[in-house]
Amino acid sequence: MATCLVTGGAGFLGSHLCDELLARGHRVICVDNLETGTLQNIEHIRGPEFTHLNIDIIEPYFVDEPVDYVYHLASPASPIDYLRLPLHTLKVGSYGTHQTLGLAKRHRARFLISSTSEVYGDPQEHPQRESYWGHVNPIGPRGVYDEAKRYAEALSMAYHRQQGVDTAIVRIFNTYGSRMRPHDGRAIPTFLRQALDSRPLTVFGDGSQTRSFCYVSDLIRGIIALAESGHHDPVNIGNPDEFTLLELAETIKELTGSSSEIVYEALPTDDPKQRKPDITLARDLLGWSPDVSLREGLQRTIDASGAKVLIG
């Protein structure tokens, strides 16, 4: 049994990670100040193997027991959150990542940071390989998130190269599943909420921009496999099946049996036109690939939502 510290453990992905680590017999320390997460996501977890510490990771913090793995997921993640919290987002990526890397160093723990496909920006390479350096607007509204993550990647590599910390970087592509907040602004919870409420589905632009959607259980399996490998360079984890936003909206309408119409709204600033991971490295290195199709994952998400809300 290992002791795993999960920052952001009360969030969407973090709470699923806590569940899986506990199911595998590990002890979990969840560090989360509930900025965008909620106690509802972890209230089902009982027992001495789980602890929640309400800590803001921007400040120095310490844990008074041995830690074997640090999964660093804390960060505003949806555009609605990081546009509302631009300075906090930059501070979490910088100070928060410094504090957490320092903790991993003190405990001689393996450290994994959750980076993002947003480090590729509006990509000029398709699909995106880890070797692609990206095309990011640093001064646009999304820059606070994209650059915080790019800085956090640089910081992780510096702690690895200079301080000998055993670091890993996962570049997560759009992931969905239960416990996404219905109003978090991301496409899948928005379309599901609108379809279930019989409201129009709001597609940005003409809906031809593409995304690749990974079901949460596939992602968590990939993250743990990477943490348990000895790899230090970034690894993409995501589902390479690519859909236009219009296809996504139509699939959600069909699966929910909704008669909502589809309406079109202006594209947000710097919205990437296409997004698709090249997962060759994850396949070769970790033997990982996703199992859950978009239709299957959406159906599971709808079932877990109780047909009204996505907190499941």
Of residues 172 and 246, the one with the C-beta less far from ligand NAD: 172
CA distances from 241 to 14, 72, 105 (A): 24, 27, 37
- What b/e sequence results for 131-155 when a residue is b if at least 16 CB atoms lie within 10 Å of its CB, and e otherwise? ebebebeeeeebbbbbbbbbebbeb
For the chain, the C-alpha Rg in angstroms (whole number) is 19
Of residues 244 and 264, the one with the C-beta less far from ligand NAD: 244
Candidate residues 6, 29, 70, 73; the one interacting with ligand NAD per rule CB under 6 A: 73
DSSP one-letter string for 179-203: T--TTS--HHHHHHHHHHTT--EEE
- Site map (CB under 6 A) of ligand NAD, residues 104-143, x = contact: ----------x-x---------------------------
Answer yes or no: 145 catalytic: yes
Candidate residues 2, 20, 22, 35; the one interacting with ligand NAD per rule CB under 6 A: 35
Angle, alpha carbons 243-114-202 (nearest 5°): 35
**Residue 33 touches ligand NAD, criterion: CB under 6 A:** yes
DSSP one-letter string for 26-74: -EEEEE---SS--GGGTTT--STTEEEE---TTS----SS--SEEEE--
**Residue 57 touches ligand NAD, criterion: CB under 6 A:** yes
- Site map (CB under 6 A) of ligand NAD, residues 157-196, x = contact: ---------------x-xx---------------------
Is 239:298 a contact under the CB 8 Å cutoff? Answer: no
Of residues 119 and 258, the one with the C-beta less far from ligand NAD: 119
Smallest separation, CB 200 to ligand NAD (Å):
24
**Residue 29 touches ligand NAD, criterion: CB under 6 A:** no
Tokens, residue 50: 């789980």
Q: Which of 145, 159, 176, 215 is catalytic?
A: 145
Of residues 8 and 159, the one with the C-beta less far from ligand NAD: 8
Which residues make Cβ contacts (< 8 Å) with residue 242, sequence separation at least 6? Answer: 127, 210, 211, 212, 274, 275, 276
Candidate residues 6, 14, 136, 278; the one interacting with ligand NAD per rule CB under 6 A: 14
Q: Which residues are catalytic?
A: 145
> Rule CB under 6 A: which residues touch ligand NAD?
7-8, 10-14, 32-37, 56-58, 73-77, 81, 92, 96, 114, 116, 172, 174-175
